[in-house]
Amino acid sequence: LAVTIALYAFLAKVNKRWLAIPVCAFTGLIIALVLGAGFDIKFVTETGLPNLNPVYWWGSTEEGWMLGLPNMEHFIASLPFAILAVAMWSPDFLGHRIFQELNYPKKTEKVLMDVDDTMTMCSIRQMVGTAVGGGNITSSWGTYMIPAAIAKRPIPGGAILLGLLVMIIAILGFPMDIAVWPPVMRVALLVGVSLPLLEAGMQMVKDSKDSQAAGICIFGSAVVNPVLAWALTMLLDNNGLIGDKERAARLSFVDKIVIPVGVLVICLVAMLAVGMLEGQYGIKAWL
């Protein structure tokens, strides 16, 4: 971890942050092997297209995920987790958009991602991916968006190339086994997502108004949950209790009360329903 952070800092100093993922991932691989981690990668992913029949994955208790078709109880039990996953999209997508605004030069607004369109396509991608057997939660590809913004590369062209590479790798199979090996995957996420977003957040805190919102958000994340902290901070900021009071005065009642309170209540109810506060505060799950 220390070597990775130091290497990332060096790449940032020499203006080569776009090399952070391959360089740091390869360095993490070498260090892991030198310190005796052992090259224990198991190549289990078969070459060729996976089974794309929804019935195979979801309609049987003997094949696919072996769960069978869900009933109403299954939908109710998983609903809070689905709500929290979607609630995390907003700060995640906005973070990517802001990171692009910080890195791309002026008068390049047309090349930046549109948050509404991105969330719509991610929703469609989630439904299609789940139907054909995917067990993952879709996102806006932060591991691509952030390095592309750092290197100031065109997003659409890179996204098309990335999509083609993903399909090729999915058909080959074995590269996926390498990509999910912990020394490679965790280092790639650290230098490709966590550190750049942290750096961008620090750059945005320029005065006491920004520091108030950032401090409450960080404190709430540590005490409860990042999603709930973001929702609470948005409510306080939009009502002028923290942050820019002039901005709050220009907002409508819907922006001040309806949306922030609605998001906060939804997140809180979802967390209480699945018992996310049980470990910290002993509040039993409702479901």
Q: Where are the domains of the chain?
A: 1-47+181-200, 205-286
**What is the average pLDDT across 201-206?**
69
Lowest mean pLDDT among 22-31, 60-69, 132-141, 259-268: 132-141
What pTM did the predictor assign?
0.67
Lowest mean pLDDT among 61-70, 174-183, 201-210: 201-210
State residue 287's pLDDT score. 66
Percent of the residues in the chain that have a pLDDT greater than 70, as a whole number: 94
State residue 7's pLDDT score. 85
State residue 109's pLDDT score. 76
**What is the average pLDDT across 199-205?**
70
Is a pLDDT exceeding 80 seen at residue 285? no
Q: How many CB atoms lie within 10 A of CB 267?
A: 24
> Nearest-CA neighbor of 187 among 39, 33, 38, 29?
29
pLDDT tens digits for 142-160? 777 777 777 777 778 888 8
On average, the pLDDT of the chain sits at 80
pLDDT band at 39, cuts 50/70/90?
low
> Nearest-CA neighbor of 30 among 154, 187, 176?
187
Distance CA 52, CA 65 (A): 13
CB 249 within 8 A of CB 220: no
Is a pLDDT exceeding 80 seen at residue 202? no
pLDDT tens digits for 58-97? 888 888 888 888 888 788 777 777 777 777 777 778 778 8
Is a pLDDT exceeding 80 seen at residue 204? no
Is a pLDDT exceeding 70 seen at residue 12? yes
pLDDT band at 25, cuts 50/70/90?
confident
Distance CA 88, CA 102 (A): 21
